[in-house]
Amino acid sequence: MLKETILYNTLMTKLVKYKILRYLNFLDSIGYKYHKSFDFISNDINSTSLPNDLHNLKSTVDNCYLCEFSKTRKKAVFGEGNPNAKIMFIGETPTSIEDETGKIFVGRSGELLTKMIENVLKIKRESVYISNIIKCKPSNNKSTFKSEANLCKSYLFKEIELVKPDIIVTLGQEAYTYLTDEEQNLSMVRGQTINYRNMILVPTFHPSFLLRNPSSKKEAYVDMLKIKNLLESGN
């Protein structure tokens, strides 16, 4: 009887969250803003209920059902790496294999990112921190996910606050756009050093893009050399 009660309560909780989410998404679709935007460095984020350590923050993400992607995911994909990293790589969304494993940047794109870090920056992948804008794999029929990114960014902002990197590297157009709220095309800002909230931000290509467009690897290599110089110079 106890098991049936727990299962019933769990299902009811998910149903209530789903109904609330649908209502909030409806309000958003008609232009109603149901919460204020905030700066993760400001006092506003310190007043949120997000945990102040990565382990508990991951647990919060694992149990998050704020957007529609949470209903179709297999596993939430949280960031990983050195919690005191000087450099943080930020990608876009989990892939199918990451959704299966719960591990970030695995598969071919993960292998390429590891080579970019270890062969060019000359540091171990484990010494950096890697995360994504969105923690759950997008639905198959979803081509844009601004609302999901806006909901999920609070987790990423908290990761940045806790890790305190000197350098942030955004991987791909969406990572740059959704993190900075800037609309410039990646080709216009790629490789530039941008002052971002007392940190240095360097946009570059996503490894999956490089796998589809090998000719762009030369440009990505140049970007990584700039990042290497920033690391060695201590910014």
Whether 67 and 27 map to the same domain: the answer is no
* CATH at residue 224: 3.40.470.10
Return the axis-axis angle of helices 54-62 and 146-163, rounded to nearest 10°. 160
Question: Are 25 and 48 found together in one domain?
Answer: no
6 and 91 in one domain?
A: no
* Same domain (yes/no): 18, 92: no
Give 129's strand partners: 81, 88
CA distance 181 to 146: 10
d(CA 211, CA 205) in angstroms, rounded, equals: 10
In the chain, what is the greatest distance between 2 CA atoms, to the nearest angstrom?
Answer: 64
Q: Express each pLDDT in 138-197 by its tens digit.
A: 987 666 788 889 889 999 999 999 999 999 999 999 999 999 999 899 999 999 999 999
pTM, full prediction: 0.79
Whether residue 229 is found in the same domain as residue 116: yes
- Claim to verify: residue 26 and residue 110 sit in the same structural domain: no
115 and 85 both lie in a single domain: yes
Residues 6+ apart with CB under 8 A from 54: 79, 83, 159, 162, 163
Q: Give the β-pairing of 199-204 and 129-132.
A: unpaired
- Whether 122 and 24 share a structural domain: no
d(CA 201, CA 140): 30
How far is residue 104 CA from its own chain's centroid?
10
Contact 205, 172 (CB under 8 A): yes
Residue 121 and residue 27 in one domain:
no
Tally the domains of the chain.
Answer: 2
Choose between 218 and 19: higher pLDDT: 218
Which range of residues forms the domain containing residue 171? 41-233
Q: Do residue 72 and residue 5 come from a single domain?
A: no
31-80 pLDDT tens trace:
665 444 434 443 333 335 799 999 999 999 999 998 889 989 999 999 99
Say whether both 109 and 80 belong to one domain. yes
Report how far residue 123's alpha carbon sits from residue 151's, in angstroms, rounded to the nearest whole number.
33
Q: pLDDT over 70 for what percent of the chain?
A: 78
The verdict on 90 and 117 lying in the same domain is: yes
